[in-house]
Amino acid sequence: MSDEQREVVVLETVDPTELNLARNLFQQEGIPCRVEGGGSSSFLGSALGSHFVGLQSLLVPLECEARALETLRAAWPEASEDGRE
């Protein structure tokens, strides 16, 4: 697989709002991205509420990784301080 086709995870979250905000930021910046994961769990869904969809990953092409991470850090500076990415 060539580097242009490789994707990297720049955000993992169980929070659909956080995921959508990040995806919208990337769209505004012209950074291609896609979501992977999020398989729902009936046990966790019933324990945590019906909106729980599991861990989701936001992926970008390898060549966009630095720009995507910079965009996230600019939007959420506290994320880089507490170790989240």
pLDDT tens, position by position, 35-49: 998 765 444 444 555
- For the chain, the DSSP string reads --TTT-EEEEEEES-HHHHHHHHHHHHHHT---EEEE----HHHHHHH-TT----EEEEEEGGGHHHHHHHHHHH-HHHHHTT--
Per-residue model confidence (pLDDT) at position 31: 97
**Domain assignment of residue 28, given as a range:** 7-79
1 is a domain residue: no
| Predicted TM-score of the model (pTM) | 0.72
In the predicted model, what is the mean pLDDT of the chain?
81
- Cβ pair 63, 32 in contact under 8 A: no
63 is a domain residue: yes
The three-class DSSP label of residue 12 is: strand
74 is a domain residue: yes
84 is a domain residue: no
Average pLDDT over residues 77-85: 59
Tally of structural domains, the chain: 1
CATH number, domain with residue 51: 3.30.70
71 is a domain residue: yes
